[in-house]
Amino acid sequence: MWRTNGSFGLNATLIGNCGKTALAACLAGVRSWPVDYAFTASRASWRGARVLVPTHPGFGGTPRPESLHTVRGIAAVYVALLDELDRRDVTVIGNSIGGWIAAEMALLGSERISRLIIVDGVAIEVPGHPVADFFNLTFPQIAQLSYHDPERFLIDPDALPPAAKAEIAGNRAALAVYAGERMLDADLGGRLADVSVPTLVVWGDSDGIADPDYGRAFAAAIPGVRFQVLPDTGHLPQLESPQLLLDAISEFTQTHATNQPV
């Protein structure tokens, strides 16, 4: 079911019609909505969850309002979407830049959010462990850094149809606006100490975009966090190791279940 959120024209889909709500904040990073949908539909059908999958304005061929140009701005729009839908006891899940968005959502202090799951997130500054220079990498280089087994996921951009090329270019352009070319928020690491909901940080042991020590630093910045490493997995567990990620999400959400109305 598609929804539109106010003047931003936010596209989102709600998968499943029962159970607790999980908001999947860009689980697919710059690869956009279809992969989010496939992964979260699996979660919805497997665990009886209701999963909300938004498309960031500017991604997936959607327009981006000029007034929306920061990760904090996206986070505020998504919290407003939860208000619009009147959802409670929400688990917010985000991968890569989606992990950054998810963290910013938690920092807004919405009572609708009960749990936070960050999957190979970015944005903090960790000396000696920089995030890969994404915008100056070729597609093969991105694949090498993103996956434990990159041969499974190599694509030839020249072989893509024009519409797919345009969508990828639009995603990258929107990402540069929201996150900057370094994908860094210098003060996020300090602000993460204010996260007050139970948090799981999941990291692929072969992540070359942001390595596992970067993940450990990300986790260490959040009070009471649980940190879990997924074996034989890179930066995009929802693509490379979906069952491992689903298991980690399920175990965490069951451990931190509440009796709040949904």
DSSP per-residue letters across 163-174: HHHHHHHHHHHH
The per-residue pLDDT for range 166-213, each reduced to its tens digit, is 988 999 999 999 999 899 999 999 999 999 999 999 999 999 999 999
Q: How crowded is the C-beta side of 77, counted as CA atoms within 13 Å?
A: 25
Give me the pLDDT at residue 60, please: 84
Q: Give the CA distances from residue 224 to residues 99, 165, 192, 193, in Å, rounded to whole numbers and listed in that order.
A: 17, 42, 11, 10
| For residue 124, pLDDT beyond 90 | yes
Report all structural domains of the chain as residue ranges with CATH numbers, in order of start: 2-255 (3.40.50.1820)
Give me the pLDDT at residue 33, please: 43
Helix axis angle, 97-107 relative to 71-85, nearest 10°? 60
pTM of the model: 0.91
| For residue 22, pLDDT beyond 70 | no
What percent of the chain has pLDDT above 70? 82
**In terms of pLDDT, which residue wins out, 31 or 169?**
169
The per-residue pLDDT for range 57-103, each reduced to its tens digit, is 898 888 999 999 999 999 999 999 889 888 889 999 999 999 999 99
